[in-house]
């Protein structure tokens, strides 16, 4: 037989448990819109007979009420892991697509302002000299030199823009890694706090939420994934190596050249701060930046350099066969055609690039328009250059193929980005569907807990009045 006042205690445990449940409901509702908040649920356990069987005494009570055994954080480890992986993929795709879009901006094709148009203008200027009434007249020749200057300006601009884009990415990489280092340290600190709370039996749900948010941030920036460990801590891994191991964080640093024109043998890379060994990063913003700096931009720069080199070599080859307007007609003194384009340093050994291509001819009279010496009015060499403009392996063709490749690669990157974004959003939704707060649900629970609380209070008052009845009887 239970004690007379046992029921009062049972009712009391009910009041306490329901009140706790109401508090947690309040916390959930308060955080309904908090990013990264995982909803919480009070775990309750009914209290019954002791587990030790007794021979001489039997427990015959209805039970000892309810005990709050904990406040559980509702998450799904599988969904969270998927979210982290997909965020890494999404960020890398985002950075890659943005890199290519910027490169597209550099070339500004198709338009009247692009390199193609100015190359076409140049070839037409060659034709205008060669096919004018007077190929020796200085007017069309000066126009030709201006048009050539126009092409080299456009090539320099494009090359400089690519360099600037690269340098911006290099700075972004430095900043990203600095931020990653701060974040990993914070995660390690949070892990420590969580570990202590867990060991002390104190819930650390809010700390865990914050920590998981930071891990997701690392997924975005460097493609990190979390791996749950002992006592509620989470290790953070990049490419299989631990960035955060329990309560200690490893710092990263950025190594490599800051000059876009000097990639080998020291390309930009992320290394472990301790021993300087390289870290393989393929996803996340950092992965995207590394791909952009070490592959994408260098590849378009080298294509652009080829266009410049091809322009110089094809024009020079024909120009060298001509003779300028030197009236003596002496090939030795100045009749001979010289290089029309060359590298800025004036040598013949430095390879011509988009950055250094220069118009070598400054005097219109030195344009070698004639196929024969003697300063006559033959402009056939100019016509030959103009007619070579649509050669299958000429600079126009290689520039067109550069733009074609860029278009296809950028379009592919954007399509992939859309897919990655969808997948990442779905992964976010999956996490949200488990951990997210639904206010309707919380309100429904609120009603349940409220009713239960009211009922427990009712039981208390009923027991109270029952006991009162007995006491009044005794008083008689």
Partner 1 sequence: MTGISRVTYTSLAASSLRGIQGNLERYSQSQARLSSGTTISKPSDNPTGTVNSMTFRADIAKNKQYSANGDDGGAWLARTDSALQDVDDQLNTVKNLALQGRSTGNSDATARNALAAQVDQLRNGLIDSANATYLGRPVFGGTTTGTIAFDPTTGAYVGDTGSVNRTVGKGDSVRVDTPGETTFGSGPDQLFKVIDDISTHLKSDPTSLDADLARLDKVINGVRQAQSDVGARTNRVEALQTTAKARIDASSKAQGEIEGVDIPAETINLSMQQVSYQAALSTASKVLQLSLNNFLR
Residue with tokens 């990049």: 238
Task: Give the residue with the Cβ less far from partner 1, 45 or 425.
Answer: 425
Q: How far is the CB of 412 from partner 1 (least distance, A)?
A: 9
Nearest to 222, CA basis, from 239, 246, 244: 239
What the block records as the tokens of 124 is 């037409």
Pairing of strands 248-249, 241-245: antiparallel
- First vs last C-alpha separation in the chain: 26
Element of type H or E holding 373: none
Task: Give the residue with the Cβ less far from partner 1, 182 or 401.
Answer: 401
Task: Give the residue with the Cβ less far from partner 1, 112 or 275.
Answer: 112
Q: How far is the CB of 83 from partner 1 (least distance, A)?
A: 13
DSSP string covering 221-280: HH--EEEE-GGG-EEEEETTEEEEETTEE--EEEES-S-TT--TTS--EEEETTT--B--
Task: Give the residue with the Cβ less far from partner 1, 179 or 438.
Answer: 438
Task: Give the residue with the Cβ less far from partner 1, 106 or 159.
Answer: 106
Is 232:195 a contact under the CB 8 Å cutoff? Answer: yes
What the block records as the tokens of 1 is 């037989």
Task: Give the residue with the Cβ less far from partner 1, 327 or 351.
Answer: 327
Preceding amide of 442 cis, omega within 30 = no
CB atoms within 10 A of CB 405: 13
Q: How far is the CB of 375 from partner 1 (least distance, A)?
A: 6
Q: How far is the CB of 155 from partner 1 (least distance, A)?
A: 16
Task: Give the residue with the Cβ less far from partner 1, 132 or 184.
Answer: 132
Main-chain phi, psi angles of 219, to 5 degrees: -60, -45
Q: How far is the CB of 383 from partner 1 (least distance, A)?
A: 5
Using CA atoms, how far apart are residues 5 and 15, in angstroms rounded to an integer?
A: 16
CB atoms within 10 A of CB 141: 27
Task: Give the residue with the Cβ less far from partner 1, 92 or 127.
Answer: 127
Q: How far is the CB of 230 from partner 1 (least distance, A)?
A: 28
Task: Give the residue with the Cβ less far from partner 1, 10 or 389.
Answer: 389
Long-range pairs of 433-441 with CB within 8 A, sequence gap ≥ 24: 434/74, 434/75, 434/76, 434/79, 435/37, 435/38, 435/39, 435/74, 435/75, 435/76, 436/39, 437/28, 437/29, 437/31, 437/32, 437/37, 437/39, 439/29, 439/32
Is 306:295 a contact under the CB 8 Å cutoff? Answer: no
Residue 335: DSSP 8-state: I
3-state class of 43 per DSSP? strand
Task: Give the residue with the Cβ less far from partner 1, 31 or 167.
Answer: 31
Task: Give the residue with the Cβ less far from partner 1, 246 or 432.
Answer: 432
> Can you give the binding site for partner 1, defined by CB under 8 A?
32-33, 79, 100-101, 104-105, 107, 109-110, 116-117, 120-121, 123-124, 127-128, 131-134, 136, 327, 370, 372, 374-378, 380, 383, 386-387, 389-390, 396, 400-401, 403-404, 406-408, 410-411, 414, 425, 429-430, 432-434, 436-441, 443-444, 447
Residue with tokens 């399509």: 415
Is 236:242 a contact under the CB 8 Å cutoff? Answer: yes
């Amino acid at each position: 037989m239970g004690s007379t006042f046992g029921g009062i205690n049972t009712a009391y445990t009910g009041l306490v448990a329901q009140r706790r449940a109401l508090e947690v409901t309040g916390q959930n509702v308060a955080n309904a819109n908090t990013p990264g908040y995982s909803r919480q649920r009070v775990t309750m356990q009914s209290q019954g007979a002791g587990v030790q069987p007794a021979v001489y005494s039997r427990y015959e009570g209805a039970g000892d009420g309810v005990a709050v055994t904990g406040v559980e954080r509702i998450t799904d480890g599988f969904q969270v892991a998927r979210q982290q992986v997909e965020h890494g993929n999404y960020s890398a795709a985002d950075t890659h697509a943005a890199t290519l879009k910027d490169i597209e901006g550099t070339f500004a094709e198709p338009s009247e302002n692009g390199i193609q148009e100015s190359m076409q203008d140049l070839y037409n200027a060659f034709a205008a000299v060669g096919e004018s009434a007077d190929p020796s007249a200085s007017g069309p020749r000066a126009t030709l030199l201006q048009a050539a200057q126009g092409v080299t300006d456009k090539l320099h601009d494009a090359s400089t823009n690519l360099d600037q884009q690269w340098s911006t990415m290099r700075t972004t990489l430095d900043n990203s890694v600095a931020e990653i280092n701060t974040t990993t340290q914070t995660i390690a600190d949070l892990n420590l706090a969580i570990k202590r709370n867990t060991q002390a039996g104190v819930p650390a749900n809010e700390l865990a939420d914050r920590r998981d948010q930071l891990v997701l941030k690392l997924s975005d920036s460097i493609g990190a994934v979390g791996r749950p460990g002992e006592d509620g801590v989470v290790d953070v891994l990049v490419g299989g190596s631990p960035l955060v191991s329990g309560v200690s964080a490893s710092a990263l640093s950025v190594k490599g050249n800051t000059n876009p024109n000097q990639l080998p043998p020291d390309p930009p890379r992320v290394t472990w701060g301790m021993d300087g060994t390289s870290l393989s990063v393929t996803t996340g913003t950092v992965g995207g930046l590394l791909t952009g700096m070490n592959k994408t931009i260098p590849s378009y720069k080298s294509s652009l350099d080829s266009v410049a080199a091809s322009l110089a070599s094809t024009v020079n080859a024909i120009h060298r066969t001509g003779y300028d307007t030197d009236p003596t007609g002496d090939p030795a003194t100045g009749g001979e055609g010289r290089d029309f384009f060359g590298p800025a340093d004036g040598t013949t050994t430095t390879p011509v690039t988009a950055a250094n291509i220069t118009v070598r001819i400054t005097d219109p009279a030195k344009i070698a328009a004639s196929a024969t010496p003697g300063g006559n009015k033959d402009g056939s060499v100019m016509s030959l250059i103009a007619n070579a403009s649509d050669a299958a392996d000429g600079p126009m063709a290689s520039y067109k193929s550069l733009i074609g490749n860029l278009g296809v690669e950028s379009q592919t990157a954007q399509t992939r980005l859309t897919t990655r974004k969808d997948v990442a959003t779905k992964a976010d939704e999956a996490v949200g569907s488990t951990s997210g707060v639904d206010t309707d649900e919380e309100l429904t629970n609120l009603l349940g807990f409220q009713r239960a609380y009211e009922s427990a209070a009712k039981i208390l008052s009923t027991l109270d009045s029952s006991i009162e009845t007995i006491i009044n009887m005794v008083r008689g």
